[in-house]
Structure 1
Amino acid sequence: RGPAITGYPSLVPETTPDGGPAAGLTVARSAEDQAAWHRAGVIRLLLATLPSPQRYVLDHLDNREKLTFTQNPHGSVDSLVADCTQAAVDRLVGDELPFDEAAFRALFDRVRADLIDTVFAVTSLVEQVLSRAAQVRRRLKGSVSLALAPALSDVKAHLEQLVFPGFVAATGWERLQHLPRYLQGMLTRMDRLDAGGHLQRDGQHMAVVQGLEDEFDAAVAAHRARFAGTPVPAELERVRWLIEELRVSFFAQELGTAVSVSEKRVRQALARATRA
């Protein structure tokens, strides 16, 4: 007999042949992978079995949301609302995941009772995100300064990192609440640049942030190469959001940060995450 190997059974997200949500079974290599996979699988199973709130939500968006939602990166308002619904289910699932039928049924009933109200909470927040994203795009299109081109290119790339098809569920409720501030940070940064100040300092800060982003991307790539198909560890994922807070502290300090942050703190967090 060979050595005993511990496995961690979990649901995993899958997709039906027609593109709908589904869930399958797998065995994770660690408790951390189990938690990440199983959570995603539970959410997909709920989406597959809950009555869809899609039509009701679409019919009851307010006029501002309807107008703003046409400026989404998803290609259709239907796709955006589906993304919001997934984020709402994620928010309602909480931290205690079901591992048997009775626990799943109890969770199903709880999510079903609060789903529509939670979807509308998400759509209200997403309206703020898309509205500010549209302001950023308009400012980018209106600038013709060659001196500002590197900084504005960075702003454009930053915007695309935050707002993309599927960004609502990918970001999750907890982080989604910070996106309006991150986007306002871009506007504040452009205000400063347009006023003719801090261009050299902006360039120095941009070099630091881009260097950290490159190091983070390399760490994610190394994890995926070593553990193909496994989720990015939560500790490593947190580094990405520390970098977002560092951007605010560099380019729009008056908006405040959610946590104490500095280049040193980001590097320390990245070192801890890559040692794990």
Structure 2
Amino acid sequence: MGAQERLRGDIVDAAMNAVLADGLEAIRDRAAFERRRDEAGKRLFGEAMERLKLAEAILSAVADLKPQLEAPLMGWARGNLDDLRAQLAALVHPGFLRETPADALAQLPRYVKAMRLRAERAVRDPARDQARMLEIKPFADALAQAVEDGVAGSADWQALRWDLEELRVSMFAQELGARAGVSPKKLAQRLQALRG
């Protein structure tokens, strides 16, 4: 299967996940199942078109970002740009359209735009970017460990994962606006609770 076919399949899977996200517990008999099936069939095309538009916006933003991830001089801001490449790989990977929750998927264009702004600034002032990067490193490391441990899919770890993206926006691209209530202190408290 080619990349385009996989992408189409992921868009349809993501649309189906959105259509079926709620209300499955109410299906208790054949009539309820048939009503739900018919409703899902009516909504699926519209949801798939929304996911297609979102995929186009995300992939366009990624195309704008990728040239920014190359250092102007060998070794210049390498750690900063490596961090951005790792962030991008975690956000946009084969299957991301299917696997990313709908509310987080809707924020991906903003997250990628924030990464582009960060990359531009990191090349100009790597030391400042490095200081901010060190503030978020414990959270990124904890999430990487959670993935290794096989617990990153839990609701609490996923909440921390998406709050980390909001923290990155607030630290590196404030002008794009981040969700209120996200700070290094609050994430540290949540991380401590997760580690229990």
- Tell whether the structures are fold-level matches, with TM greater than 0.5: yes
Q: CA deviation at 1:261?
A: 1.0
2:64 is the counterpart of 1:135: yes
**What is the distance in 1 between the residues matched to 2:119 and 2:180?**
23
Q: Deviations over 1:106-148 (max 9, x none)?
A: 2211110111111001100110000011111122247335221
Moved more, 85-94 or 163-172: 85-94
- For these two proteins, the number of residue pairs brought into alignment is 194
Aligned counterpart, 1:82: 9
Distance 2:2 2:138 in 1: 32
Shift of the 112–146 alpha-carbon distance from structure 1 to 2, 3 Å rule, reads same
Instruction: Tell me how large the CA RMSD over aligned residues is.
Output: 2.1
Aligned letter for 1:175? A
Tell me the amino acid that sits aligned with residue 18 of structure 2. R
- 1:212 match: secondary structure: helix
Alignment of 1:1-276 (within 5 A): 75-98=2-25, 99-102=27-30, 103-141=32-70, 143-194=72-123, 196-197=124-125, 199-222=126-149, 224=151, 232-275=153-196
Q: Does the CA-based 8 Å contact 1:83-1:168 persist in structure 2? A: yes
Structure having the larger proportion of residues in strand: 1
Paired residues of 1:85 and 1:119 also in contact (CA < 8 A): yes
Query: Counting helix residues as a fraction of each chain, which structure ranks higher?
Result: 2
The amino acid of 2:190's aligned partner reads: A
Distance across 2 between alignment mates of 1:84 and 1:171: 11
1:219 and 1:274 in contact (8 A); partners too:
no
Segments of 5+ residues of structure 2 without an aligned counterpart are: none
Instruction: Tell me the distance in 1 between the aligned counterparts of 2:153 and 2:101.
Output: 15
Distance 1:115 1:238 in 2: 27
Contact 1:84 1:119 in 2 (8 A): yes
> Would the alpha carbon gap of residues 141 and 193 (structure 1) be closer, same or farther in structure 2, given more than 3 Å must change?
closer
Give the distance between the partners of 2:114 and 2:12, measured in 1 at CA.
27
Kindly state the Cα deviation for residue 101 of structure 1 after the two structures are TM-superposed. Answer: 4.2
**In terms of Rg, which structure is larger?**
1
Q: In 1, are the aligned partners of 2:121 and 2:129 still within 8 Å (CA)? A: no
The separation in 1 between residues aligned to 2:127 and 2:190, in whole angstroms, is 27
Q: 1:93 to 1:210 in 2, by over 3 A?
A: same
Give CA deviations for 1:140-192 in whole Å, capped at 9, x if unaligned: 24733522111111111111111100000111221111100110011111222
Query: Shift of the alpha carbon at 1:238?
Result: 0.6
Higher RCO, 1 vs 2 (CA within 8 Å, ≥6 residues apart): 2
Q: Deviations over 1:15-41 (max 9, x none)?
A: xxxxxxxxxxxxxxxxxxxxxxxxxxx
SS at match of 2:24: coil
**Structure 1 pair 76–211 and aligned structure 2 pair: CA distance change class (3 A):** same
Deviation at 1:215, TM superposition (A): 1.5
Q: Aligned-pair distance for 1:220?
A: 4.6
**Percentage identity across aligned positions?**
31
| Matches of 1:163 and 1:82, distance apart in 2 | 16
